[in-house]
Amino acid sequence: MLVANTISFSYLDKITIHSSTFSLKKGNNLAIIGESGCGKSTLLKLIYGLYDLDEGQLFWNDIKILGPKFNLIPGMDFMKYLAQDFDLMPYISVAENVGKYLSNFFPEAKKARISELLEIVEMTEFANIKVKFLSGGQMQRVALARVLALEPEVLLLDEPFSHIDNFRKNSLRRKLFSYLKEKNITCIIATHDSTDVLSFADEVLVMKDGKIIENDSPKAIYNHPKNKYIASLFGEINEFSVDGKVFLAYPHQLKIVENSEIKVEVVNSYFRGNYNLIEGNFENQTLFFENTTAIKNNEIVYLEIQK
């Protein structure tokens, strides 16, 4: 189990992580979400041991996680951390990069392990290509394979799919998180992508200004967001008032009905494939809702919140 007990950290005089406490069971996947600059990446680095805590303690089971003041080479041996810069060697092949930390004592086992990892990240056909010739997304996939090579107990991922095309990202996520569950590897992922959170996380930490403001399951946080900031991390959100009472609703929760208190004048329709996102005006408040077809501008419709 990973335990963070009232940890704090600051860059010079600016506090970046404020008295944060949380825990994570072995084999679970934790997603850290929040706006840019909220402290997600810094928290990952603290967990890995790249920085020294100002206050508090971090433990993995009975092992205390310590920073550069205590370790000649920062970072814990039983963890692997994938930063956003990948740190690959450009002048050697993809296979050589993936196998960099694997022992040469059993060459056949090493070759089989590299092949297995390249299949997981869908880079088998690039095994003998030098990394310098790859795209950013391909490099990111190679970096993912490399951090998995020695099967760490804890895997820390900082925006691991940010450079990868959408058509490949979904397949890669399914393969990666299935592999982590199969091997009982604990994973902590800092991400902006709600798909990483809703589909694959067991728990979610929501951060704002260096503070943990929510810690719960993805379903609980999505279905019952405490405020607009939290809800907005999962997509478009409406915050509006009816007779002085404030409501939060995702566009798919607003449905057209015959009559209601929410009388909306349509402003625009945006085609989204299997539905249209409709922009409307309700008492000088902008609302977005979904509909199967486009609606003419200036048309009046009535909405109801259905959760």
- At 79, list the tokens: 């963890």
Q: What is the pLDDT of residue 80?
A: 94
Q: What is the pLDDT of residue 191?
A: 93
How many Cβ atoms are within 10 Å of 299's Cβ, its own excluded?
12
Tell me: do 44 and 145 sit in the same domain: yes
pLDDT above 90 (res 271): yes
Q: Is the pTM of this model over 0.75?
A: yes
Tell me: do 56 and 165 sit in the same domain: yes
Tell me: do 193 and 68 sit in the same domain: yes
Using left for φ > 0, alpha for ψ between -120 and 50, and beta otherwise, residue 97 falls in: alpha
Tell me: do 176 and 265 sit in the same domain: no
Side chain identity, residue 78 = F
Tell me: do 86 and 219 sit in the same domain: yes
Beta-carbon contacts of 194 under 8 Å, excluding residues fewer than 6 positions away, are 33, 233, 234, 235
- At 82, list the tokens: 């994938």
Residue listed under structure tokens 């404030």: 246
Q: What is the pLDDT of residue 258?
A: 94
Tell me: do 44 and 168 sit in the same domain: yes
User: Helix/strand/coil (H, E, C) string of 113-168?
Assistant: HHHHHHHHCCCHHHCCCEHHHCCHHHHHHHHHHHHHCCCCCEEEEECCCCCCCHHH
Residue in 48, 84, 82 with CA at minimum distance from that of residue 65: 48
Residue 13: pLDDT band with limits 50, 70, 90? confident
- At residue 40, φ and ψ (nearest 5 deg) are -60, -55
Residue pair 33/191 in contact (Cβ under 8 Å)? The answer is: yes
- At residue 21, φ and ψ (nearest 5 deg) are -130, 130
Residue pair 120/151 in contact (Cβ under 8 Å)? The answer is: no
Q: Is 300 helix (H, G, I), strand (E, B) or coil?
A: strand
Tell me: do 154 and 300 sit in the same domain: no
Q: Per residue in 231-257, pLDDT tens?
A: 999 999 999 999 989 999 999 999 999
pLDDT above 90 (res 45): yes
**Which residue range is the domain that position 189 belongs to?**
2-227
Q: What is the pLDDT of residue 307?
A: 80
Q: What is the pLDDT of residue 74?
A: 85
pLDDT above 90 (res 32): yes
- At 129, list the tokens: 């290509």
CATH value at residue 268 = 2.40.50.140
Tell me: do 10 and 140 sit in the same domain: yes
Final residue in a domain of this structure, among 197, 227, 257 = 227
- At residue 14, φ and ψ (nearest 5 deg) are -100, 120
Q: Per residue in 197-213, pLDDT tens?
A: 898 999 999 999 999 99
Residue 297: pLDDT band with limits 50, 70, 90? very high
Side chain identity, residue 175 = K
**Alpha carbons 141 and 122: distance in angstroms, whole number:** 8
Beta bridge partners, 93, equal 130
Final residue in a domain of this structure, among 179, 207, 227 = 227
**Alpha carbons 200 and 265: distance in angstroms, whole number:** 38
